[in-house]
Amino acid sequence: MHMHCVQRSAIGGIASPIIKSSLSVPSTIMAMPSPNSLRVAAAQMTSVSDLAANFATCSRLVKVFFFSIFSFLGSLYFLSYFSLLFYILLCTVFLLNTEYWVWCEKEAASAGAKLLCFPEAFSYVGTKDGDSVSVAQPLDGPIMNQYCSLARESSIWLSLGGFQEKGSDPQHLCNTHVIVDETGKIRSSYKKIHLFDVDVPGGRVYKESSFTEPGKDIVAVDSPIGRLGLSVCYDLRFPEMYQLLRFQHEAQVLLVPSAFTKVTGAAHWEILLRARAIETQCYVIAAAQTGKHGDKRESYGDTLIIDPWGTIVGRLPDRLSTGIVVSDIDLSLVDSVREKMPIDKQRMPIDFWKAASL
* Residues classed as catalytic: 120, 192, 233
Number of Cα atoms under 13 Å in the Cβ half of residue 227: 14
**Count of beta carbons in the 10 Å neighbourhood of residue 201:** 8
**Alpha helices, DSSP H only, in 169-304?**
239-247, 262-280
What does the DSSP 8-state code read for residue 317?
A: S
Nearest Cα neighbor of 280 from 233, 331, 349, 338 is: 338
CA distance 229 to 256: 9
Tell me the one-letter amino acid at 222. Answer: D
Nearest Cα neighbor of 180 from 201, 200, 202, 152 is: 152
